Amino acid sequence: MNRLVKIRSQESLCRERAALDFDRRVFWLAQAEEWEQRALDEIAYHFRECNIGQAELARN
């Protein structure tokens, strides 16, 4: 989950930059959206891995 914290930190940084850099606001918001999607992908991956592990335990 440390990876998720790093990803969310990047997302937050991009959102902060968007608030401060009016000229490039659209760029920074787009970057934040990309980081947000990476975070969602990371969460989905984590749950898939947990579910696979639980399914294997149940079979044994």
Query: For the chain, what is the HEC assignment?
Result: CHHHHHHHHHHHHHHHHHHHCHHHHHHHHHHHHHHHHHHHHHHHHHHHHHHHHHHHHHHC
pTM for this one? 0.79
Report pLDDT for 37: 98
Q: How many domains does the chain have?
A: 1
Instruction: State the pLDDT at residue 22.
Output: 97
The domain in which residue 22 lies consists of: 2-59
Tokens 């991009």 — which residue?
A: 14
Please report the pLDDT score of residue 49 as a whole number.
Answer: 87
Q: CA 3, CA 44: separation in Å to the nearest integer?
A: 13
Q: Which residues of the chain have pLDDT under 70?
A: 53-57, 60
Distance of CA 20 to the CA centre of its chain: 22
- Residue 56's pLDDT is 67
Residue 53: its pLDDT value, please? 67
